[in-house]
Amino acid sequence: MFSLPIRPTTSRQLARIDRQLRTLSGVSDRQLREQSATLRYRAAAGESLHRLLPEAYALVVEAADRTLGIRHYDVQLLGGIHLANRCVIEMETGQGKTLTATLPLFLHALRGQGVHLATSNDYLAQRDADTMRPLFSMLGLTCGVVVDGMDDAQRRHSYRCDITYATAAELGFDFLRDRLKRRAAAGASTADRSELQPVGRELDFLLADEADALMIDEANTPMIIGAPSRISDQKLSLYQWAAQTAPDAIEKQHYRYNLRERSVELLPAGRQWARQQLSVGLMDGNSILDLFEKLERAITVDRDFHRDQHYIVRDGEIVLINEATGRLGEGRQWQDGIQQAIQAVERLPITAPTTHAAKLTVQGLFLSYRHLAGMTGTAVAAASELRKVYKTNVVRIPPLHKSRRQALSTRYFADDTEKYQAIVDEIIAIGHAGRPVLIGTRSVENSQRLSRLLRDANVPHQVLNAHQHASEAKLIALAGRAGQVTVATSMAGRGTDIRIEDDVVERGGLHVILSELHDSPRQDQQLWGRCGRQGQPGTYRQFLSLDDAILDQAYGDQAAAGYRTHRRGNQAALLSTAQQTLEQRRRQNRLTALYHEKRRLRAVWEMGRDPLLDVM
């Protein structure tokens, strides 16, 4: 049964699971549930999960076969064993991570302390919980899901389940709100305490799906619960003045730009120029330092924050776009005056900057769990950082099926116009063969641009970006049909399972087009990983040009313009180096932020205060 090149200890565990499985074939559903209850009793009595693992995993395999009609493969059992030992496993896309996750989730749930699976979005959390609920139910366990829009009663019910699926953001904000409730309850009357009951439990075991995205790319994403504050009319006028003035500021003449930190500092000549732009009465109630600060933020926004790339405007509000996933960051705001500067640019009502009632990063949340594990299709490249920060080993699980995914030669172009026309031509050619095509773009703006070109060429297609997030499941369900063309942002990357029809397999499978390089090669790999899944055929190709935004992000606007002018003959090396530069910079920024956060936490603890609620 097991013929994989694995360690002797792991091989023995696999053999025990195999022996245990043979005893379950004639067991009734009721007896299966009774065996599960026995394991829970043994775990509560203090027996180690390592000893219980073979019996527990055998029960999960049998329950999956009976309820879902699918059986765990050897590689999934191997992955489950490593997930039980504080590891992050790398399984190729399409190898069944969702089913693999049921193994450690059931094992850790035996202790009755509640386990969490963190996903990157509500769609995946709801989908996976609904899919696996019958399996857990057969074994006598409850399975809940926490998604945006739930009230406290619904959240409390889901967290009281043995296994809970949720996004990292929902888990983090509920953890912070519970901490605030406990502080408030300590000084409240008995009658008021009933309204301050926490919704969650202690943080015991977390399994991170798409682990490198959550544990690396979004590690420093802050989850902040704001406290009410007010903003004066004088401050409102200052934000509006800065938004109007910023586009006229000239780099190196009026301000200095720090590419690594993405920050602006006014030069002496810039401060003098700013004073000359003042209108009558603007300084009433404002200091000159306020004026300089608001102008610096406005210049930063004018340079680095763009509508339909970093945010959208919906119902008169700014909604952030997560650049790594292409999804909306509901409820999130930029800090340090950036949110207000963008509102001023978009001529929206300017909200008061929030003061911090509680603050936590995704990284801080994950490190708060007693036990941690993760799974993804792209972990090996981030292995050193995962080991350094989370003390987790990375293990690559061999694929079940030999990959039939084919990489076609990358095409390079002098500018975007040529590139997008070539993409349209390839879409038409692939479509004539009856194959579906998925085109990945980095921004909402670029997905809309490509959509217009396809419409002009009379090519039927669908678009999936932050504006269509409510229709995601429907659009993904259609994406694998013969001749279907789907233009998408990174929303169609991680965790997205595009099922192709049988006749499409015969024609060569899904074709994926990458229209730009992402900040990390891991993100590119996740996108082209949508094709050629589970041994099916598939192809992908990259279309790149020197107009791509990654040059500006890596080198700055002026340096990028110079490269475009003088180095048009070396596109491949230039773009590849830009991606490496950007990834290394982001990694260094994360490690620097971790260092400063550790120092802040230590300082707050030494003062006898709560580092999450008493934010400094």
Annotated binding site for ATP: 76, 497
The percent helix, strand, coil of the chain (3-state, each to 5) is 50, 15, 30
CB count, 10 Å around CB of 140? 16
Sign of CA dihedral 159, 164, 167, 168: positive
* CA–CA dist 496, 123 (Å, integer): 10
Handedness of CA 373, 374, 375, 379 (dihedral sign): negative
Kindly list the distances between the CA atom of residue 602 and the CA atoms of 222, 590, 611, in Å, as whole numbers in the listed order. 18, 18, 8
SS3 category, 265: strand
3-state secondary structure of 241: helix
Contact 225, 181 (CB under 8 A): no
Residue pointed to by tokens 């050193």: 384
- Other beta carbons within 10 Å of 32: 17
**CA pair distance 320, 342, nearest whole angstrom:** 11
- The C-alpha atoms of residue 27 and residue 36 are separated, in whole angstroms, by 12
Q: Which long-range contacts (CB under 8 A, 24 or more apart) does 476-480 make?
A: 479/436, 479/438, 479/510, 480/436, 480/504, 480/510
* R_g (Cα) of the chain, nearest Å: 26
Judge contact between 123 and 556, C-beta under 8 A: no
Q: Which residue has the tokens 């963008």?
A: 342
Q: Which residues are annotated as a binding site?
A: 76, 497
Count Cα atoms within 13 angstroms, Cβ side, for 164: 29
530: Cα within 13 Å, side-chain hemisphere: 32
End-to-end CA distance of the chain: 57
For 425, the token pair is 């031509």
List 404's β-bridge partners, or say none.
537
User: What is the spatial distance between Cα 465 and Cα 445, in angstroms, rounded to a whole number?
Assistant: 9
How far apart (Å, rounded) are the C-alpha atoms in residues 88 and 592?
23
Residue 537 CB neighbour total at 10 angstroms: 19
Q: Decide: 226 and 355 in contact? Cβ < 8 Å.
A: yes
Across the beta sheet with 328-329, the strand order is: 311-314, 317-321, 328-329
Residue 254's alpha-carbon distances to 293, 295, 306, 342, 561, in angstroms, are: 14, 11, 22, 21, 20
Beta strands 393-396 and 87-90, pairing class = parallel
Could you give the 3-state DSSP secondary structure of residue 325?
coil
